[in-house]
Structure 1
């Protein structure tokens, strides 16, 4: 299967899963090569990520270190994509689910494309309809994507909802820590 076909199938699978259809899991390539190709989702998500970081700079002060900020953000983006798979690789054997690692990460990686699309849509809605406040739609989208992540973890790892929730919460917190460190580095305030 070529990369474009695999990408389209995986994205369709993420859509089916988001609609509550567990048969969406049949659209993914669970081989070792499929696992590594699932990181191509980062390439798909990156332009939206870069746009959002650039958009953050619109309100930055004149002397803001734009180059350093963008460099640190790009490095943090890469670290986020690698840190969670490394962490979960250590956790799944403790849960007796080591054999499900490749399937979980494959689906979880591809799901990030849909998650970014939902996030961008929420930002657009927040701009068009500001009645929920500046982050109202985004907060709703973040909660929905956390629930979606829990559903993916439950399906792919065959674990109870509290365990799936803890896994997704670990990813969320890890991402927040990396983001926080990145911002402090960009501002030269880490130490």
Structure 2
């Protein structure tokens, strides 16, 4: 299910409101299976940024596998990263008796990933162009990372109707899961 351009625009605008810490501007919409599955189209929109960020990061040592296998493994782990977090979040939300908010959480989480990807790409372009001194570039990177984590926690707090502590815990769970997937992906490059 591919969303229309108008639906993409509406969803990206809603996600942008989270980036502005302004959930009052987001209309409440009933969660449907169509909206849920359409939100995974955000993975398609994030793909160019992910490819750029991955290609721009130098590796310590050259991979021991050929280029086709490398692309296949990276593609597989990209899909895994988009599926693993929703599956694990569903389990956690069932444990916390918040499974009713799962659909709206994933819809907003997926579309928020597009804006976060844009920030990472812009940050990488700025850092690679050496416009900023190294110390200032590191500070800007830290500020961007904290901002992204704060917006994700804010979105989690609003959609799951929970407090800041729980929202922050869910964000840290996302970080741990993402790092585990990344470590496994990098281990596969040196088989």
- TM value normalised by structure 2: 0.88
Q: Which structure 1 segments of 5+ residues have no match?
A: none
Over aligned residue pairs, what C-alpha RMSD do you find? Answer: 2.3
CA shift digits 1:7-64 (9 cap, x unpaired): 1001111111211111243276732110100000000000111122222358865977
SS class of match (1:26): coil
The answer on 1:166 being equivalent to 2:140 is no
CA contact (8 A) 1:13 1:27 kept: no
Name which structure has the greater RCO, CA cutoff 8 Å, separation 6+.
2
Write the distance in 2 (CA, Å) between the matches of 1:171 and 1:136.
Answer: 23
The aligned residue for residue 49 of structure 2 is 48
User: Cα offset for 1:108?
Assistant: 0.3
SS class of match (1:146): helix
The answer on 1:186 being equivalent to 2:189 is yes
The answer on 1:154 being equivalent to 2:140 is no
Per the alignment, do residues 42 and 97 of structure 1 end up closer, same or farther by CA in structure 2, a change over 3 Å counting? Answer: same
User: Cα offset for 1:130?
Assistant: 3.3
Q: How many residues are matched?
A: 187
- TM value normalised by structure 1: 0.88
The answer on 1:129 being equivalent to 2:136 is no
Per the alignment, do residues 137 and 71 of structure 1 end up closer, same or farther by CA in structure 2, a change over 3 Å counting? Answer: farther
The answer on 1:15 being equivalent to 2:16 is yes
CA contact (8 A) 1:15 1:24 kept: no
Segments of 4+ in structure 1 off by > 6 A?
Answer: none
The aligned residue for residue 120 of structure 1 is 121
The answer on 1:88 being equivalent to 2:84 is no
